[in-house]
Structure 1
Amino acid sequence: MSKRLFNFCAGPAALPEAVLQTARDELTDWHGKGLSVMEMSHRSDEFVGIAEQAEQDLRELLNIPSDYKVLFLQGGASQQFAQIPLNLLGEDGRADYIDTGIWSRKAMEEASRYGHVNAAASGKEYDYFAIPGQNEWTLSADAAYVHYTPNETIGGVEFNWIPEVGDKPLVADVSSDILSRPLDVSRFGLLYAGAQKNIGPSGLTVVIVREDLLGKAHSKCPTMLDYSVAAKNGSMYNTPPTFAWYLSGLVFKWLKAQGGLDAMERINDAKQRKLYTAIDASELYSNPINVADRSWMNIPFRLADDRLDKPFLAGAEERGLLNLKGHRSVGGMRASIYNAVPEAAVDALVAYMAEFEKQHG
């Protein structure tokens, strides 16, 4: 392969090089079958085997209990903003949402089209630089579920704890931190994740839903958006995104080969510590997030002088450090250091930041 550079993109994000090499080798002839996975019928024995193995590997990685369904869907996490209330809210229900940033607010806005949404807590008073403690939450007695976003990809805040919501189903958008470390799935009613950060390429969405929450869809819920229909049909009510599913399965195998999520936790912890340490020790760079609420996966930082942003990014590109520009709504820089971003990438970034500060500090 040609030289691979270090990709800090927030999504679509870096994929493991070993996965890309396997996909390359199998692209035109999968396992001697004479065709690509992209050309297979999703009903074929071959693809059904690929799909079943991917689900089994994901179940093993996350230790998913047997009373949860694993769905491989389309539409991204943004479609889930509507699909969740359509399936869980009932005809005129209420749901509690925790507002910690842009993605949780988007979820709230969409859900409000289908029922009553209670903003049970908000990080607004902290300028979204911190997560409100659970003692600040006002949960509804009649909520059908409680929704939160454990990791805000844009803002860079992350829960380092799982909320306690009693007997209410806890729903979480884990798009950007799923598989980065172990997670107790049994604490949740539903987890959902767009694939393009820690799972695989864009085009696939994974939903992990407790079986007792199925069959409650709104009477006007489209058939394609009914979780129970997807579950009964093995996520193949229509043609699924087969190649994205296949590639995600390769990522799951790769994660198992690394030692599973315990190993990924150690690696990811080391990566984030290195980068935050470099930022905090600097007079040029800063991160505004409350230390206890800092994201492991998405690390925003600013330069003391915005006029240095362009030369910083240009120098980064010259050194093969790609996609460090912050989200347009926030500005500054952002390094997304998902599972497939190696520790060497963080080392290279830290070294460049120190070099740049010597020149411009």
Structure 2
Amino acid sequence: MTQVFNFSAGPAMMPKEVLQQAQAELLNWQEQQTSVMEVSHRGKLFMDLITQAEQDFRQLYYIPENYKILFLQGGARGQFAAIPMNLIGKKNKALYLTSGHWSATAAKEARLFCEIDEINILDQDPELKINRLDFSDIAEQYDYVHYCPNETISGVEIFDIPKVGNTTLVADMSSTILSRKIDISQFGIIYAGAQKNLGPAGITIVIVREDLIGNARQETPSIWNYAVQAKSDSMINTPPTFAWYLCSLVFKHLLKQGGLEGVEKCNQEKANLLYQYLDESSFYKNNVVKNNRSLMNVTFTTGNDELNAKFVAEATKAGLQALKGHKVLGGMRASIYNAMPIEGVQALIQFMKKFEAENN
């Protein structure tokens, strides 16, 4: 049987070792002769699990003590609404930096709750490129500044942190979280859907500085109110316990791999390998400048829609799954999150060479 490599942008592949452990414990977790999905979320064993999960996540990211970690539901889209409901204050306005589909979607949702200014920081001609990151001259007039460090659809990543002075910086890190080291103290809020690097779909992590908690507008639903969730251990309703459990296993797995130092080195190696081949090829093209090429989502095209469709179909038969690009952009996209081994990237390049030789 051909080995399968899953390049899905999300829900994405998870570490094999984590899935094997979950499989082994599925019917008998913690010697309880029952599944983790079947125990009380407020029982001692599960409370111990979430306490340890938070400690492991803090250790991975070196999260300062003055930040709360919330494990919520509703995905990143839920946070698109929760953030203005919790953060809009005396200035009554937010700034959204748009660099692609998801940052623009966040801005559109925020308009339902507050006044915003929107600045497009992406140049598209001749290649995709971030054109500005210093907003220290205007940021003080806003309650917060929001951006998305990694756009999964276009494969654009912002490695430098925007300059916003003393204004609260908010980041949607759904597709880049835990892929490389960052300085958490530079942010007021970081949020991320789990289905890329953290675990399965169904749970969302919010890292929020404590001074930003407790300022929600009166009509904010309890499920989106950070103060309510923080006081309730993210459990004002029954949480997605199995997703939380799987995230806890992922955190331990990453710590065993040497933490984010080792993770970042591996991700850089994988991305460099694939981009080097794309640069050497006259058959495929990546349309992002080198300084903004995503470590997680590598986009490419043959420039021919029929050839692109043939590539995806034949790649799937060869065990290289989910390489079709997003419908917004087309082409191909290889999502190479933490769980993707370098052997998967090598197998993809081998196939790309074969396809190029047969179709050039």
Q: Indicate the TM-score class for this superposition, using the shorter chain for normalisation.
A: over 0.9
135 and 237 in structure 1: CA distance in 2 versus 1, 3 angstrom threshold: closer
Determine the structure 2 residue equivalent to 1:150.
149
Determine the structure 2 residue equivalent to 1:260.
259
Q: CA deviation at 1:138?
A: 6.8
- The whole-number CA distance in structure 2 between the counterparts of 1:87 and 1:175 is 19
Q: Output one character per residue of 1:253-280: Cα deviation in whole Å (capped at 9) or x when no partner.
A: 1101111100011100000001111111
| Contact 1:120 1:138 survives alignment (8 Å) | no
What is the identity, as a one-letter code, of the residue corresponding to 1:60?
Q
Determine the structure 2 residue equivalent to 1:57.
56
Determine the structure 1 residue equivalent to 2:178.
179
Determine the structure 1 residue equivalent to 2:166.
167
4 and 52 in structure 1: CA distance in 2 versus 1, 3 angstrom threshold: farther
Determine the structure 2 residue equivalent to 1:40.
39
* 1:189 aligned onto 2:188: yes
What is the identity, as a one-letter code, of the residue corresponding to 2:73?
Q
- The whole-number CA distance in structure 1 between the counterparts of 2:88 and 2:127 is 27
Q: Secondary structure at the match of 1:303?
A: coil
- The whole-number CA distance in structure 2 between the counterparts of 1:246 and 1:238 is 17
Determine the structure 1 residue equivalent to 2:207.
208
Alignment of 1:338-353 (within 5 A): 338-353=337-352
Q: CA deviation at 1:181?
A: 1.1
Mean alpha-carbon deviation: is it higher for 264-273 or for 312-321? 312-321
Q: Output one character per residue of 1:293-317: Cα deviation in whole Å (capped at 9) or x when no partner.
A: 1111001100133221222112211
Q: CA deviation at 1:122?
A: 3.1
| Contact 1:88 1:217 survives alignment (8 Å) | yes
Q: Secondary structure at the match of 1:171?
A: strand
Q: CA deviation at 1:319?
A: 1.6
Q: CA deviation at 1:124?
A: 5.5
Determine the structure 1 residue equivalent to 2:11.
12
182 and 131 in structure 1: CA distance in 2 versus 1, 3 angstrom threshold: same
Q: CA deviation at 1:3?
A: 7.4
* 1:79 aligned onto 2:78: yes
358 and 128 in structure 1: CA distance in 2 versus 1, 3 angstrom threshold: closer
Q: CA deviation at 1:4?
A: 5.5
345 and 119 in structure 1: CA distance in 2 versus 1, 3 angstrom threshold: same
- The whole-number CA distance in structure 2 between the counterparts of 1:352 and 1:137 is 46
Q: CA deviation at 1:32?
A: 1.0
| Contact 1:128 1:155 survives alignment (8 Å) | no
TM-score of the pair, normalised by structure 1: 0.96
| Contact 2:150 2:294 survives alignment (8 Å) | yes
User: Structure 1: which 5+ runs fail to align?
Assistant: none
Mean alpha-carbon deviation: is it higher for 219-228 or for 61-70? 219-228
- The whole-number CA distance in structure 1 between the counterparts of 2:19 and 2:2 is 13
Q: Secondary structure at the match of 1:199?
A: coil
Mean alpha-carbon deviation: is it higher for 298-307 or for 276-285? 298-307
Mean alpha-carbon deviation: is it higher for 73-82 or for 232-241? 232-241
Q: CA deviation at 1:223?
A: 1.2
**Aligned-residue identity in percent:** 49
- The whole-number CA distance in structure 2 between the counterparts of 1:143 and 1:128 is 31
Q: CA deviation at 1:134?
A: 2.3
Q: Secondary structure at the match of 1:208?
A: strand
Determine the structure 2 residue equivalent to 1:303.
302
Q: CA deviation at 1:131?
A: 1.2
- The whole-number CA distance in structure 1 between the counterparts of 2:3 and 2:245 is 22
- The whole-number CA distance in structure 2 between the counterparts of 1:136 and 1:43 is 44
Determine the structure 2 residue equivalent to 1:289.
288
Q: Output one character per residue of 1:139-170: Cα deviation in whole Å (capped at 9) or x when no partner.
A: 34320001000000111101011111111111
Q: Secondary structure at the match of 1:98?
A: strand
Determine the structure 2 residue equivalent to 1:320.
319
Q: CA deviation at 1:91?
A: 7.5
User: Structure 2: which 5+ runs fail to align?
Assistant: none
Superposed CA RMSD: 1.6
- The whole-number CA distance in structure 1 between the counterparts of 2:126 and 2:10 is 24
Determine the structure 1 residue equivalent to 2:329.
330
Q: Secondary structure at the match of 1:341?
A: coil
What is the identity, as a one-letter code, of the residue corresponding to 2:280?
A
What is the identity, as a one-letter code, of the residue corresponding to 2:11?
P
| Contact 1:101 1:128 survives alignment (8 Å) | no
Determine the structure 1 residue equivalent to 2:66.
67
TM-score of the pair, normalised by structure 2: 0.97
Q: Secondary structure at the match of 1:141?
A: helix
